[in-house]
Amino acid sequence: MDVTLLGKGRAALLCLFMVCLTGLLHAQQHTISSFSPSNANTGEVVTITGTNFSSITAVNFGGTAASSFTVVSTTRISATVAAGSSGSVTVVKTGFSNASSAGFVFSSYPTITRIISDYNGYWDTNTTTNNSVLPDNSHNLLAFTYGGTTYSTGVNNTLLTNRGVTYTSGSFKALPASLSGTTPASGASFFLAVGAKKDGSTTTANVTNANIRNLTPEALLVDGTNGLDLGTGYTNLPATALSSYTIKSIDPSKITDSEPDIVVTQIAAPSGSIDTFQFVKSDGTTLVGNAVTVSQGSVSKLGTWALDLFSYPVGVSYATVKPTAVSSTNTTREIRMVSFKLSDFGINGTNYNQIGFLKLTPSGTSDVAFIAYNANAINIPPVVTINTSATSSNICLSGTSPAYLSVNTISGSGASLSYSWEVSTNGGTSWSAVTNDSTYSGATTANLSITAGTNSYKYRATVYETATPSISAVSPEFTIVAQASSAIAGTINPGAADITMCLNDPAPTTTTLTVAPTGGVSTYSYQWQQSTTSATTGFSNISGANASTYDYPYSSLGTVWYRVIITSGCLNTTSLAVARKVITSGDSILSVTNNSRCNTGTVTLSATSVSGTSSNINWYAAETGGSSLGSNASFTTPSISSSTTYYAGTVTSSPTCNSVRRAVTATIASGITLSSTNFSVPSTTTVCPGSGSTVYVSTTALPDETYTVTYSVAGANTITNATASLTLVNGFGTFTTSALNTAGSNFMSISNVQNGAGCNFAPSSGNSNYIVVNAASVGGSIAGGATVCTGTNSTNLTLSGHTGSITKWQSSSSSDFSTGVSDIANTTTSLSASNLTATTYYRAVVANASCASANSSSATVTVSPTSVGGSVSGGTTVCTGTNSTDLTLNGNTGNVSKWQSSTSSDFSTGVSDISNTTTSYTATNLTATTYYRAVVTSGACDSANSSSATVTVNATSVGGSVS
């Protein structure tokens, strides 16, 4: 027996040893390879990637434990930041050394972790996984995620809804900028930054392109829808260029909410320098609350964009300066954003009404596309400045003479503006309204013309937001000054030589006419004119062309002559030189078709032109320059072993016009490998049972064409190796899964993408996303139906057993709700129905997320009419003893609950209840006069007594005796 026990013990020890050895073999030292975002605020989630994430016991940020964490897989952890400090991210596993990675920054404010724009229709990127697509043109901010909540900007909420984005509706607009000072020296690297393709070309930068040449630093801060264009901005704004934004008012109810109020963009290379934002009083200097500072270098990037950089001339006002030269072509920079609440600035219920301005002191390395504000919380009036290039306020000493006053304006809301002018004849002591008459014209516009100016008179313009007249701003004052004059002259530059241009030339030699007059009274007003008749006749004024420069269009055919009338005080002249611009016709590419093959060989590409003339189409190896490789609608490449981009453009003669070339891709599939850096599934739509989810695909590796994707779904629903069609346009496309019938979370992955040539691409990563199927709406049931008496009544109804949110209640006079349906604005689970006068049916309407609504079962509130006792007939006189009388109730409303008899006519005494619920009663064998009535009850109403009937009982006749 002992030997047997010893054998068992050894077996047990051997088993224990093997278990420990197995555990040691499987449990290995863990590592951290990266984490994102690198900065976060309390409550925000950081994704940690690495190896051997099993049996993890703790996650710390800067020495502070995460408030919670989830080990998603052996290579990924999601951890929620608690209030803490900056430092290393540390992952703890018992029995092993801690794994740490430096560089985490604890943010004092909630961070922006995701942005959505309308680039190529829809662009979604975040700090954890930057979108691999690089925007290269203008695109507007649609939404951003701040503090874990996604807010729409109001630019296109419909698009967000259609894409299945869950968001809080907001209204954000760019702050209109008024930058002080002039542009710095060239060494300051103050550049115009625009999407690389905004000028029509990604390989060259064209400063004379119509989309580039007029972009002033102030204008580009408010371009795009709501001013929220992420594809234009400036870099390295000098610290001397202070910005002040007038604040009209603040909604005090918004001060303590969780919504962001100021959004700041950073679109180039950040540094450790600090931008300072502060609210100040109307004096422009006294601080209200506290200043807020931000160092964009510590903010996690949201994505990357492709851009061109253009330089500005030195020493010119930020309001008027325009780019003149190319600095960089098709380079890349990162996108970052930060946001602040009013409460972050120390604004509260006692000081908010002291605010006059929001003041920005740039760091000297500020790279801004726009600074936006929450229009639901802050009201911004228009920015109004004197238009110095158009204003002529000097008049001649010899007497009254014309003057022209003009203001530059930027709407604070992005909406239209209205104007009114005032004049002061006493140096500004009092003001009176200006109206259009023989002296004034343009009194309700940005430009006031004065036919006879008077020395020392002052003028000012008040500018209103048209939709909200209470939000307004007043311009600086204009003063009419009389001074000596001399002969006036001016010549247009470039001069009289004809300039021949091609229709919509992407990079014209020049499209600007300028004049630099001399003489007069030193200030000048201008009116440019054009003629399509000749150099001397047929001229008409060009509306709004009232500056010393004029940018003429070149988008229509024909010859146009231009001249300018220059007015200075009592003098005027028409330009001595007339510039003629002959715009000649060309052609352009209408569409292109990419093509592909699986391995080395030739590929046939095709294109069509606007004119339909195939011979105009030429093929090139580069976007600009180089010789034609051939002409016609189709082009067969030489044998190629890797994907190659060719370019199609049109060439017309007499004169020679070259169009913008469009890229056409010949794809060799064997050279393409899909990965998370060039292929992603940025989003899917949340659906209801029975519907397929729309899957959004973004790629920079595959050319635009139609593909067949193979995908699978696991989770609440199972779909294995199904196929769907995917058409890519600008690297972006969608496909729809088969119907998903079960509510719950699902994991969708793409296993293969096949092009039209039968070439297969298998994504190694970036090929998946989750699909949520919401539960179908369930109406539930209503309890509390009752019977009430008409008039004053109240019934409480309660909904239970439903799935989804209550959108409304409904009532109807019909049990099937076929007629008489009324909506009730109530989104709670209870409803009080009161003072009903007719039977009414109630139900709740319930909708779960975007699923079709469902109706609850109905509850009935039956309304009884008021009880009416009626009258009893049949009263009679009988002889005492044996007798019988039939009494009948008529005219009653309600049911008979009982009859009553009494020996008193007013039923005050001797009342007896009779168990009879019919409308008739037989009174028998009475020996004394008796009164009868019926008691009637209608539903829930109080009972009513009928009128009474009397059965008079006479004593038996007695003959008596005769004596």
Max Cα–Cα distance, the chain, nearest Å? 163
Indicate the fold that domain 384-483 takes in CATH.
Answer: Immunoglobulin-like (2.60.40)
Mean pLDDT by 10 residues, the chain (963 residues): 40 44 62 85 84 93 90 89 85 93 82 92 86 92 94 94 87 86 83 93 84 89 93 90 84 93 92 83 92 82 95 89 92 94 94 91 87 92 86 84 90 85 96 96 96 94 87 92 87 71 67 86 90 89 89 77 89 76 75 92 95 94 90 96 93 81 90 86 90 91 92 96 93 93 95 93 85 94 96 95 96 96 96 96 94 96 96 96 95 96 95 97 95 96 96 90 85
Superfamily of domain 26-106: Immunoglobulins (2.60.40.10)
Q: What is the pLDDT of residue 265?
A: 94
In the block, which residue shows the tokens 């020493």? 315
CA-to-CA distance for 175 and 492, rounded, in angstroms? 37
Fold classification of 486-584 is Immunoglobulin-like (2.60.40)
What CATH class is the domain 672-773? mainly beta
Class of the 871-954 domain? Answer: mainly beta
Q: Would you state the pLDDT for residue 15?
A: 44
Cα 921 from chain centroid (whole Å): 78
- What are the C-alpha distances in Å from 944 to residues 42, 520, 788, 789, 935? 70, 104, 16, 13, 6
CB-CB neighbours of 335 under 10 Å: 22
Which of 535, 566, 538 lies closest to 550, judged by CA? 566
- Token pair for residue 910? 């001797």
Instruction: Check if the beta carbon of residue 164 is closer than 8 Å to that of residue 147.
Output: no
The long-range contacts involving 117-120, CB below 8 angstroms and separated by at least 24 positions, are 117/141, 117/142, 117/230, 118/142, 118/155, 118/156, 118/159, 119/230, 119/231, 120/729, 120/730, 120/731, 120/732
CATH 3.40.50.720 fits 781-864, yes or no: no
Give the residue from 896, 809, 792 showing the smallest Cα distance to 856.
809
Question: Which SS3 state, helix, strand or coil, does residue 300 take?
Answer: coil
Name residue, tokens 């709740």. 844
Question: What does the pLDDT read at residue 496?
Answer: 56
The pTM of the full predicted model, rounded to 2 decimals, is 0.65
Q: Where are the beta strands (DSSP E) in 523-578?
A: 525-531, 540-541, 549-551, 558-568, 571-574
Task: Return the bridge partners of 696, or none.
Answer: 683, 734
CB 72 within 8 Å of CB 102: no
SS3 category, 804: coil
* Angle 514-518-521 from CA coordinates, rounded to 5°: 120
- Report how far residue 122's alpha carbon sits from residue 829's, in angstroms, rounded to the nearest whole number: 38
Contact between residue 799 and residue 829 where contact means Cβ atoms under 8 Å apart? yes
Q: What is the pLDDT of residue 507?
A: 62
Over the range 123-136, which residues count as b (16 or more CB within 10 Å of their CB) and which as e? Answer: bbbbbbbbbbbbbb
